[in-house]
Amino acid sequence: MGKWLKKCLKALDKLPQGLFGLLALLWAAVIFYFSHSSNAHGVGFLVSPWDKILHAAAYSFLTGLIYLETRRVALSFLLSLGYGFSDEIHQQFVPGRSLDPLDLMADGLGAMLALYALGWLDQQRLNVKQLVKLLIWLMTFAWALFVFKLSTAAMWQDTGNGIEATTINREMMDTINTVTQPLSKGTKNHLGLAN
């Protein structure tokens, strides 16, 4: 069975240059279409872990297409993960949607799975060092997304008609007050946190 799969992969090399790149762009457009929708056309009913499995599958497929076009592991992973990162930020501004660093983690794990499988078939097995590097990139992107989510949570509000800039909401202000209680009133005024 392994030989049959390897023959299939070699046969894919005979396809026109750019075909997998075009398919990757089309698949990215499909992902964007679903992520731009408020209810994700029925996908929104999925709860954990099923939504994460769907993320992993979608980005596994995207990464596989990019890899088949480029045959470069790191480039494929970073392009796919970068697209997942931008997609999560985009969802922050779609009514009824929000960004979720765990979705990005699922995207990255799906990408790693695709690269591991395709690398094995392509006889470019990923070693532990390469997998660790990919995992570090994944964690870096997820951490950056988490920080972005925290920084924008206070500045944007879903009004039902879309996301609008707003003042810091009451919940966030309570959290800030709890964290900054040890600060003197003068320091709070200087930081603009005084009530």
Token pair for 87: 């997609």
Cβ count within 10 A of residue 153: 17
pLDDT at 47: 65
Q: What is the 3-state secondary structure (H, E, C) of 24-43?
A: HHHHHHHHHHHHHCCCHHHH
Element (H, E) at 49: none
* pLDDT of 14 over the 50 cut: yes
* pLDDT of 26 over the 90 cut: yes
Of 88, 64, 89, residue with least CA distance to 77: 64
* pLDDT of 161 over the 80 cut: no
**What does pTM read for this prediction?**
0.66
In sequence order, the 6+-apart residues with CB closer than 8 A to the CB of 91 are 35, 97, 98, 99, 100
Of 153 and 168, the one with more pLDDT: 153
| 3-class state of residue 143 by DSSP | helix
* pLDDT of 50 over the 60 cut: yes
Token pair 């985009």 in the structure block, residue: 90
Lowest mean pLDDT among 66-70, 107-111, 117-121, 149-153: 149-153
The distance in angstroms from the start CA to the end CA of the chain is 69
> Could you give the maximum distance between any two Cα atoms of the chain, in Å?
73
Burial label, 184 (beta-carbon count in 10 A; 0-12, 13-18, 19+): exposed
pLDDT at 1: 47
Lowest mean pLDDT among 32-46, 68-82, 131-145: 32-46
Of 43 and 85, the one with more pLDDT: 85
